[in-house]
């Protein structure tokens, strides 16, 4: 019995040594690692250096599409049996007395993006390219450039110019977009969306003319102004 005691003591010592009592951090699959110094330098320089050409946007480049022009068919004025391809707007005889500029810009933003998505539908692209092209033209900087092009001549009526002035005074809280582009650019882009929303409720044919003037394709049987 006395000879067996050292054997038990030795066995317990081995077992205790084999147990890892050190504290281990839990596994984190989303762990991030510090960036290299050169990556941090490049990122800081890109965010702090102002872009002097931010306002010089080429609309023809934004709306460029690679579509072969030969062999176009003259389609019927109706599409799938409908007079227009947009959703039927709600009836509002005097939108300015019913809706605020922000309300018209709210629906105008949606209609504007619908024109942009329709414009880039051909030629077929992958989803990432679709999104990149659409996002490039729905940014407020691009909308500001398109509005300046639209106002360069006498294409807009006095009523439409009045709607633009009305929509420019939309009050909104500070956003990242406004901080990035500036208040003036943001307000002008909002005024364009207000005009789009106003014409959507009052005169869809005139809306088509204005969007075609900007450069969007508005008829599948004929190229847009930028492609002529």
**N-terminal to C-terminal alpha carbon distance within the chain:** 106
Paired tokens of 50: 């102002």
CA distance 169 to 55: 21
Q: Which residue, 193, 175, 206, is CA-closest to 114? A: 193
Give the integer Cα–Cα distance in Å for 42 and 21. 44
188 is written with which tokens?
Answer: 């002008």
Structure tokens at 148: 């300046």
Q: Which of 66, 76, 109, 162 is catalytic?
A: 109
The structure tokens 């004025």 sit at 77
Which DSSP state fits 72?
A: -
Q: CA-to-CA distance for 158 and 118, rounded, in angstroms? A: 29
**Considering only CA atoms, which of 160, 53, 56, 145 is closest in space to residue 104?**
160
Active site residue 109: yes
The two tokens of residue 94 are 């005097």
Provide long-range contacts, Cβ within 8 A and 24+ apart, for 31-40.
Answer: none
The answer to whether 197 touches 106, Cβ cutoff 8 Å, is yes
Q: How far apart are the C-alpha atoms of 195 and 215, rounded to whole Å?
A: 16
Active site residues: 109
């Amino acid at each position: 019995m006395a000879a067996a005691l050292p054997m038990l003591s030795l066995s317990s010592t081995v077992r205790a040594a084999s147990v890892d009592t050190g504290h281990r951090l839990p596994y984190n699959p989303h762990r991030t690692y510090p960036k290299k110094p050169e990556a941090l330098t490049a990122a800081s320089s890109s965010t702090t250096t102002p872009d002097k050409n931010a306002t010089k946007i080429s609309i023809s480049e934004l709306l460029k599409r690679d579509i072969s022009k030969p062999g176009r068919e003259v389609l019927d004025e109706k599409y799938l049996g409908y007079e227009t391809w947009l959703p039927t707007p709600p009836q509002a005889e005097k939108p300015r007395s019913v809706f605020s500029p922000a309300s018209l810009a709210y629906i105008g933003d949606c209609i504007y993006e619908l024109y942009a998505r329709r414009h880039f539908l051909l030629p077929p692209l992958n989803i990432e390219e679709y999104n990149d092209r659409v996002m490039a033209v729905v940014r407020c900087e691009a909308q500001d450039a398109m509005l300046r092009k639209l106002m360069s001549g006498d294409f807009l009526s006095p009523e439409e110019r009045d709607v633009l002035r009305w929509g420019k005074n939309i009050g909104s809280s500070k956003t990242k977009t406004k901080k990035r582009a500036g208040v003036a650019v943001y307000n002008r882009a909002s005024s364009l969306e207000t005009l789009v929303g106003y014409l959507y409720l009052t005169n869809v044919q005139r809306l088509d003319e204005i969007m075609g003037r900007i450069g969007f394709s508005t008829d599948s049987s004929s190229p847009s102004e930028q492609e002529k």
